[in-house]
Structure 1
Amino acid sequence: MSDSSSAGNEKHFEHIAAAPVSDDGALGSVKDSEASDDELLKSIGYKQEFRREFTRWSTLSYAISIMGVLGSVPATYSTPLAAGGPATPIWTWFTGSFFSMTIALSIAELVSAYPTAGGMYFVTKYVVPEEHVPIASWIVGWSNFLGQTAGVTSVGYSVGQMLLAACAMGSGFDEKTGTFGYTPTAEHTVGVAVATLILMGIICSFPTKWLHNCIMWFAPINVVASIAISIALLTLTPNLLPASQVFGNVTDGSGWGSRGFSFLIGFLSVAWTMTDYDATTHISEETRKAAIRGPVAITQAVIISGLVGLLLNISFGFCVGDGTTILSSGLGNPVAQIFYNAHGAKSGLAMWFWAILIQFFTGCAAMLADTRMAYAFARDHAFPFSGTLKKMSPSTKTPLYSVWMVVIICCLLNLIGLGSVETINSIFGITAPALDCSYMAVIALRLWYSDRLTLRKGPFSLGKWGRPINFIALGWTSLLAVILMFPTSRPVTAVNMNYAVVVAAGVLVFALIWWFAGARKVYVGPRTGGDEVQKS
């Protein structure tokens, strides 16, 4: 694209990004908004293929549901509790939410300038010199797709675990043996997980209008149910822990000989929950006024999820009782046991149902982001059979081939759980570092080349605070990368070893071998400059 055309697009972008828009029912304003969004996408270099149905509220609901604290906090609560006692989940969540906001703000500013389905992967094109675009975007794209896919796989598996925990809870507790009537097996967990992923795939195959109508309800249910459950737990649970233990009891449960390090391991929960920040950008080509609504939704979701997650962690802390007993629960999940202890099986199941439902919502939202990333990657010819994977269904106006490719990959990954729990947990453990590295690589490259390249600004800008916030985000993510790769307990054995670093290295080596073996001959990075528009 020539300098003159780029300058023209800059002015055009500023004009259409500032165009007024309303969701409230003025038909003309909605049509004007969609026309402006389509023109912005065309100026970036892509043809509008999706229908823009997501509004301000459904975009915010989507951003909140991708984190799904009512499902994600119970699914990950055992790690900080086991490592550092009841106070660790609370303070790591409080601290982690603050630093997560720096990542969210850094991402929001970048994707505001280029609101496409590729998210931060697409932004890579504009933060490095032209000669480095192919290899940089290849690595960032694969890192992001790996993190997205591992995340969807893990949520599907966790839904299976939570559903089977409900079955165990309802099977009755034998006081003599101290066990429940039903004990979940690996085969049962994987079977339920695969069925869950297929159901998620069916939902993600819906037309965007249907998805908008469904997702509108995800966040309200999440927030209201979280508040209601917190009140119920604090009201029904006998023998609450004293506040001194809830807020002050940090232990060395990891065995590393340091309460400080055990506390740091507790950040795994917030890191696994507060991620996939650019998810709203992956649906930006289906969103009205995406250049501002997507970035705003990212930051609002972190605030709301941070507060709701803190409420849940505090409630669990008061109700946890004896941590050792809770962690060895026959239900397979300490929070499920907390629910059961509050007022028996019926009340426990009533509360646990909402946690399962929210975790399922999170899986649907995560899969939607993953399928849109797959579509964007295929659009740029980064996959085998990209020509097929990028095709849009003429009836739903969604990329069904990309949807079901993601479903199949996630189902196959879950099958690993039949043979090795350690390996499948390592795949799940790569979610946060892979996604965060894909984000931080782009932010770091932007800072490194800032004196040579000028990134155009979107309507969401950090101004003079941009660089300090970027550096804080980089420092925080670097710390998390080390923690996320560490074994969570000592002594380190084949069972508790953190194989995430092995999985990450394996995928990186695979991507580089593929690159030098032939991908570099056909992949040039995000294909913009009007080529796709002119061909269509």
Structure 2
Amino acid sequence: MDISSDSKKGSISGKQPGEGRPIQPVTSSCSKAAEAAQEQQRSRNMATIADDDDRLLVRIGYTPVLQRHFSRWSTVSYAISILGVLGSVPATFGSPMSSGGPATAVWAWFIGSIMAYCIASSVAELVSAYPTAGGMYYVTKHVVPKDHVAPWAWIIGWCNFLGQAAGVASLAYTISQMILATAVIHTFDKGEAAFTPTALQTVLLAIFVLCLFGTVCSFPTVWLHEIILWFAPINIIASICICIALLILTPEKQSAKWVFTEFMDGSGWGSKGFSFLLGFLSVAWTMTDYDGTTHMSEETHDAAIRGPVAIRAAILVSGVVGWMLTVTFCFCMSDYDAIMASPTGLPVAQIFFNAGGRTGGTVMWFFVILVQCFTACAAMLANARMAWAFSRDAAFPFSDFWSKVNPITHTPVNAVWLVVAFCSCLDLIGIGSTLTIVAIFNITAPALDISYIAVIIAHRWYEGRVQFYPGPFTMGRWSKPVNAIAVTWVIFISVVLFFPTVKPVTATNMNYAICVAAFIGLFSMGWWYAGARKTYTGPRTTDTIDMLPPEDPEAILSDCYDIP
């Protein structure tokens, strides 16, 4: 892997915040054309280019409007927190355990983490070249021929936005379930629970949680930077402490042979191998949203370097911590059948309370809920920035309103509350149909991963026709093989995740995610042909070169703005 800073890649140097090179003043050697270009830029209200980040943003066609406060550590912390393994693994642990047993949970996580690293590295390489709030959606503009940009960007943008929205809604819903599961445990007496939450209670609490996160995500970027700095340390330290506590406090642990070699056919498909594949749901749902960090690029110092580094570091850390948690939970499954049939509906919650009692279990479970809240905040932040970038390109109804930046916080507050309202509507479906809401949640990983590989495929398909200029992070000769692995894996696992998880298939246990995917595809394409294709042109950027007089514009940029 290579991270460099040569001048052909935008003079990005990896400086500390505030150390970017100032604009070189116009000297007598600059032509009148250069002065005219400067005046033309001022007349268009272009922001002062204070450092390499904003210089790069102007070069790719955007006027900087957000404030950059995210540093190296807050960016890494954000990348780790958006995966949030301590919250997500307990929430999804029951799926691989019920379908394929402990060995399925352990090895599916191990293999899935390696594949996630390939996808994340492929994403990091592309967004390093174009670090904007649109993430992979914006990259489409630079890997697809100009006359094909609009339909490609439309499909990829909607897949990304809806996948993220489904993820945010599902996180709020699972947080609600976790809180109510605590209440169930505390009212459990003599084999029965005095309190059983209803669908309405779960949904209303989830909407309250969404509003709470929307308030946090509306804060100024400098506040978010200070808050997010603590997300990753709490996540990692709490994970290690919980693993140690569980292994000490659980009286009768399972054997290593059972944990690492016991495969089951809990799906009923008649194949332990297929049941193993269904076990990838946990790692697929947890280890996604790789480009979440890139959606914060316009608020990050040295985003072209720090974004890709943070993405790959987060996969490594989360992969190790997630595997550690999965193995620990399997060792603590002292009574498999009783734990899987827990009245809380969450096997890990039962493991905690078995080990620590009501007091100790509640303390451990509190940190799980806290980290899941961190993950939901980070995911909503990414979704809001994506919504802002998408509305900036007039992809939404009333885009002018959603694309406004609040003059007080200097953040896209309107886009944040668009996400809150949309995700609340998704969660409201849970009142009437648990099957439908689960199907919507299950679309998160396939929708996001497909939006990533679509850009990767387009990049490779059109690379002979479209000139792509790599950013400071590149995989070099490993790029094509890693891209191939990422694309193959996403196609394969997406098909698996659309399969019903239990056989025989009935209306009750059917995996309706495929129906939701079909609806999203038909809706987006129907909207496209109904009128969007006449108004939507893809990412709306201002070509800096086109703004300059015709006399050798590239030389003018190089001489006057120190841009090669």
* AA partner of residue 311 (structure 1): M
Residue in structure 2 matched with residue 162 of structure 1 by the alignment: 178
State the SS of the aligned residue for 2:474. coil
Percent of residue pairs identical = 56
Q: Distance in 2 between matches of 1:417 and 1:238?
A: 38
Q: Distance in 2 between matches of 1:71 and 1:265?
A: 21
Residue in structure 2 matched with residue 44 of structure 1 by the alignment: 60
Q: Distance in 1 between matches of 2:8 and 2:54?
A: 11
Going from structure 1 to structure 2, the CA distance change for 1:455 and 1:320 (only over 3 Å counts) comes to same
TM-score, with normalisation over the residues of structure 2? 0.90
Is 1:346–2:362 an aligned residue pair? no
Tell me, yes or no, if the aligned pair for 1:169 and 1:349 is still in contact at 8 Å: no
Tell me, yes or no, if the aligned pair for 1:47 and 1:532 is still in contact at 8 Å: no
* AA partner of residue 99 (structure 1): M
Q: Distance in 2 between matches of 1:386 and 1:507?
A: 20
Q: Distance in 2 between matches of 1:243 and 1:126?
A: 50
The gaps in structure 1 that reach 5 residues or longer are 1-9
Residue in structure 2 matched with residue 474 of structure 1 by the alignment: 487
Offset at residue 467 of structure 1 (A): 0.2
Tell me, yes or no, if the aligned pair for 1:86 and 1:246 is still in contact at 8 Å: yes
Is 1:21–2:15 an aligned residue pair? yes
Tell me, yes or no, if the aligned pair for 1:92 and 1:264 is still in contact at 8 Å: yes
- When Rg is computed on C-alpha atoms for both structures, the one with the higher figure is 2
Q: Distance in 2 between matches of 1:317 and 1:324?
A: 13
Offset at residue 407 of structure 1 (A): 0.2
Going from structure 1 to structure 2, the CA distance change for 1:404 and 1:92 (only over 3 Å counts) comes to same
Q: Distance in 2 between matches of 1:20 and 1:67?
A: 25
Offset at residue 12 of structure 1 (A): 6.9
Offset at residue 181 of structure 1 (A): 2.6
Tell me, yes or no, if the aligned pair for 1:34 and 1:289 is still in contact at 8 Å: no
| Counterpart pick for 1:81 among 83, 97, 107 | 97
* AA partner of residue 521 (structure 1): K
Going from structure 1 to structure 2, the CA distance change for 1:308 and 1:321 (only over 3 Å counts) comes to same
TM-score, with normalisation over the residues of structure 1? 0.94
| Counterpart pick for 1:377 among 364, 386, 390 | 390
Offset at residue 37 of structure 1 (A): 0.5
Offset at residue 182 of structure 1 (A): 1.8
Offset at residue 29 of structure 1 (A): 5.4
State the SS of the aligned residue for 2:165. helix
Q: Distance in 2 between matches of 1:532 and 1:432?
A: 38
Q: Distance in 2 between matches of 1:221 and 1:276?
A: 20
Tell me, yes or no, if the aligned pair for 2:20 and 2:52 is still in contact at 8 Å: no
Offset at residue 16 of structure 1 (A): 2.6
Task: Compute the RMSD of aligned alpha carbons.
Answer: 1.7
| Counterpart pick for 1:526 among 539, 557, 561 | 539
* AA partner of residue 149 (structure 1): A
Kindly tell me the number of residue pairs found equivalent between the two proteins. 518
Residue in structure 1 matched with residue 80 of structure 2 by the alignment: 64
Tell me, yes or no, if the aligned pair for 1:82 and 1:254 is still in contact at 8 Å: yes
Structure-to-structure mapping, 1:495-534, within 5 angstroms:
495-530=508-543
* AA partner of residue 496 (structure 2): I
State the SS of the aligned residue for 1:397. coil
Offset at residue 531 of structure 1 (A): 7.8
State the SS of the aligned residue for 1:278. helix
Going from structure 1 to structure 2, the CA distance change for 1:425 and 1:439 (only over 3 Å counts) comes to same
Q: Distance in 2 between matches of 1:207 and 1:317?
A: 42
Note the alpha carbon deviations across 1:431-461, whole angstroms, 9 max, x for none: 0000000001010111111222231110000
Q: Distance in 2 between matches of 1:373 and 1:487?
A: 31
Tell me, yes or no, if the aligned pair for 1:22 and 1:30 is still in contact at 8 Å: no
Is 1:490–2:498 an aligned residue pair? no
Note the alpha carbon deviations across 1:43-91, whole angstroms, 9 max, x for none: 0100101100000000000000000000000010110000011111111
Tell me, yes or no, if the aligned pair for 1:379 and 1:386 is still in contact at 8 Å: yes
Residue in structure 1 matched with residue 148 of structure 2 by the alignment: 132
Offset at residue 15 of structure 1 (A): 4.0
Tell me, yes or no, if the aligned pair for 2:19 and 2:51 is still in contact at 8 Å: no
| Counterpart pick for 1:319 among 332, 343, 348 | 332
Q: Distance in 2 between matches of 1:86 and 1:30?
A: 54
Residue in structure 1 matched with residue 232 of structure 2 by the alignment: 219
Offset at residue 30 of structure 1 (A): 9.3
Tell me, yes or no, if the aligned pair for 1:222 and 1:358 is still in contact at 8 Å: yes
Residue in structure 1 matched with residue 562 of structure 2 by the alignment: none
Residue in structure 1 matched with residue 125 of structure 2 by the alignment: 109
Going from structure 1 to structure 2, the CA distance change for 1:513 and 1:20 (only over 3 Å counts) comes to closer
Q: Distance in 2 between matches of 1:376 and 1:185?
A: 37
Q: Distance in 1 between matches of 2:286 and 2:337?
A: 24
Q: Distance in 1 between matches of 2:148 and 2:468?
A: 16
Residue in structure 2 matched with residue 332 of structure 1 by the alignment: 345
Residue in structure 1 matched with residue 107 of structure 2 by the alignment: 91
Residue in structure 1 matched with residue 27 of structure 2 by the alignment: none
Is 1:355–2:368 an aligned residue pair? yes
Q: 224-233 or 328-337: which moved more?
A: 328-337
Q: Distance in 1 between matches of 2:234 and 2:279?
A: 27
Q: Distance in 2 between matches of 1:498 and 1:532?
A: 50
Residue in structure 2 matched with residue 250 of structure 1 by the alignment: 263
Q: Distance in 2 between matches of 1:263 and 1:395?
A: 51
Going from structure 1 to structure 2, the CA distance change for 1:136 and 1:28 (only over 3 Å counts) comes to closer
Q: Distance in 2 between matches of 1:13 and 1:152?
A: 38
Note the alpha carbon deviations across 1:382-411, whole angstroms, 9 max, x for none: 011111110000000111111101100111
* AA partner of residue 159 (structure 1): I
Going from structure 1 to structure 2, the CA distance change for 1:433 and 1:198 (only over 3 Å counts) comes to same
Q: Distance in 2 between matches of 1:404 and 1:229?
A: 35
Offset at residue 14 of structure 1 (A): 2.2
Going from structure 1 to structure 2, the CA distance change for 1:20 and 1:243 (only over 3 Å counts) comes to closer
Q: Distance in 2 between matches of 1:30 and 1:351?
A: 48
Q: Distance in 1 between matches of 2:462 and 2:22?
A: 38
* AA partner of residue 21 (structure 1): K
* AA partner of residue 317 (structure 2): I
Q: 63-72 or 120-129: which moved more?
A: 120-129
Tell me, yes or no, if the aligned pair for 1:201 and 1:367 is still in contact at 8 Å: yes
The gaps in structure 2 that reach 5 residues or longer are 24-48, 548-564
Q: Distance in 2 between matches of 1:31 and 1:317?
A: 55
Residue in structure 1 matched with residue 44 of structure 2 by the alignment: none
* AA partner of residue 304 (structure 2): A
Offset at residue 20 of structure 1 (A): 4.5
Tell me, yes or no, if the aligned pair for 1:63 and 1:297 is still in contact at 8 Å: yes
Offset at residue 179 of structure 1 (A): 2.0
* AA partner of residue 41 (structure 1): L
* AA partner of residue 457 (structure 1): P
State the SS of the aligned residue for 2:51. helix
Note the alpha carbon deviations across 1:221-255, whole angstroms, 9 max, x for none: 00000000000000000110011101110100000
Residue in structure 2 matched with residue 180 of structure 1 by the alignment: 193
